[in-house]
């Protein structure tokens, strides 16, 4: 059985929607049985759990540095501040790496 891992970048919904489209078309091209694994964090992780409640054992929450949203794109100042301090729901990058 093939094992396929999908890392879905958690910043915005574009990565999530493209990977869900991949999930729809993949069975058309794979003839042998496969098992899908998902890796993300934050809202995308929650969406995966909601979309695939029967596959929770294949959905993993991972910590990774991601830009902090600003008014029109990533906020450089908040992202830099997040290196050492928690910003919103994001723990500091130092703690993410340490854990």
Name the residue ranges covered by the structural domains of the chain.
1-62, 65-99
pLDDT in tens, 7-21: 998 877 889 999 999
SS3 43: helix
Compute the C-alpha angle 13/54/18, nearest 5°: 25
What are 36-58's pLDDT values in tens digits? 999 998 889 999 999 999 999 99
> What pTM, to 2 d.p., does this model score?
0.72
Q: What is the pLDDT of residues 69-97, one digit of tens each?
A: 777 777 888 888 888 888 887 788 788 77
């Amino acid at each position: 059985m093939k094992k396929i891992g999908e890392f879905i970048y958690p910043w915005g919904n574009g990565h999530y929607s493209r990977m869900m489209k991949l999930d729809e078309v993949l069975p058309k091209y794979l003839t042998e049985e496969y098992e899908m694994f998902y890796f993300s964090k934050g809202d995308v992780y929650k969406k995966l759990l909601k979309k695939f409640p029967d596959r929770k054992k294949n959905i993993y929450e991972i910590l990774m540095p991601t830009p902090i949203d600003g008014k029109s794109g990533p906020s450089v100042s908040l992202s830099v501040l997040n290196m050492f301090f928690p910003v919103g729901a994001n723990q500091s990058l130092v703690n993410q790496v340490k854990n």
